A and B are shown apart, each in its own frame.
Chain A
Amino acid sequence: AAGVIQSPRHLIKEKRETATLKCYPIPRHDTVYWYQQGPGQDPQFLISFYEKMQSDKGSIPDRFSAQQFSDYHSELNMSSLELGDSALYFCASSSRFDRGRNEQYFGPGTRLTVT
């Protein structure tokens, strides 16, 4: 079965640079979620989109922005990168036709390292 695709899988950036992370949800999934996971920590919600509209926002820095496109893929744009942004970034997708089960399927993640 098709899974969530994320690219790139690894990214190394310097402080103050920008980064763009991409997420391709499972086909026919209409909702995308972004999570950030630091070493030894649980995933923290950043932002979500349903049918290309922002549906919820968590503890996402103002330096970050995201959007969902007409083909349902999503991009997370990160500017003025800081050392503390180094983490695993996961995208998850779900379908609201899943009868309210909110089954979120996670991608393999993008490991961002800021030097």
Chain B
Amino acid sequence: QQQVKQSPQSLIVQKGGISIINCAYENTAFDYFPWYQQFPGKGPALLIAIRPDVSEKKEGRFTISFNKSAKQFSLHIMDSQPGDSATYFCAASYSWGKLQFGAGTQVVVTP
């Protein structure tokens, strides 16, 4: 059973647009929420992460919004570029534990 639910499954956005991916979790023991970017045949690359005591974190064009009461968090990719076309995974963990991933979102940025 997927402990982290991710949507949408796929997303097409025009160059310069905003990509938004949403995740929801149930286990309130989770205290670390990263996002990973993965290109075909490559390892997941850590993009940005947040802890539940913060409601928003921005790094460059990537922003995480976190809603602790709703147990939801989202990734916003601003000014999307063709090079951003990849699969994005949200994840959750507690302390130094295993990452539990969402099912992934395939993002395609059209020129």
Q: Mark A48-63, 1 if CB is under 8 A from B, else 0.
A: 1010000110100000
Docked complex Cα distance between A109 and B36 (Å) = 15
User: A68 at interface (Cβ–Cβ under 8 A)?
Assistant: no
Residue of B nearest to A35 (CB): B99
Whether B49 sits at the interface, judged by CB under 8 Å, is: yes
A49 and B49 alpha carbons, distance in the complex (Å): 22
With an 8 A cutoff between CB atoms, is B83 at the interface? no
Question: How far is B86's CA from A55's CA once the two chains are assembled, in angstroms?
Answer: 31
A105 at the interface (CB under 8 A from B): yes
Stretch at the interface among B12-20, B40-48, B61-69: B40-48
Contact indicator B96/A45 (Cβ below 8 Å): no
Query: Does A8 make an interface contact (CB < 8 A)?
Result: no
- Inter-chain CA distance A96–B95, complex, in Å, is 9
Whether A100 and B96, one on each chain, are in contact in the complex, defined by CB atoms closer than 8 angstroms, is yes
When the two chains form their complex, are residues A43 and B101 in contact, meaning their CB atoms are under 8 A apart? yes
* Contact between chains at A42 and B103 (CB < 8 Å): yes
Size of the A side of the interface (Cβ < 8 Å), in residues, is: 30
Tell me the dominant secondary structure on chain B's binding face.
Answer: loop
Of the candidates A35, A48, A92, A101, the one whose C-beta lies within 8 Å of that of B32 is A101
Determine how close the nearest CB of chain A comes to the CB of B8; give it in whole angstroms.
Answer: 15
What 0/1 pattern do residues 22 to 49 of A give for CB contact below 8 A with B? 0000000001010100000111110010
A58-B3 Cα distance, complex, nearest whole Å: 14
Given A101-B32, A103-B34, A106-B45, A96 and B89 contact (CB-CB distance below 8 Å): no
The 4 closest A-B pairs by CB, nearest first: A106-B43, A42-B101, A45-B98, A102-B32
- Between A and B, 9 residue pairs with Cβ closer than 8 Å are A35-B99, A42-B89, A42-B101, A43-B89, A55-B96, A90-B43, A100-B95, A102-B97, A105-B46
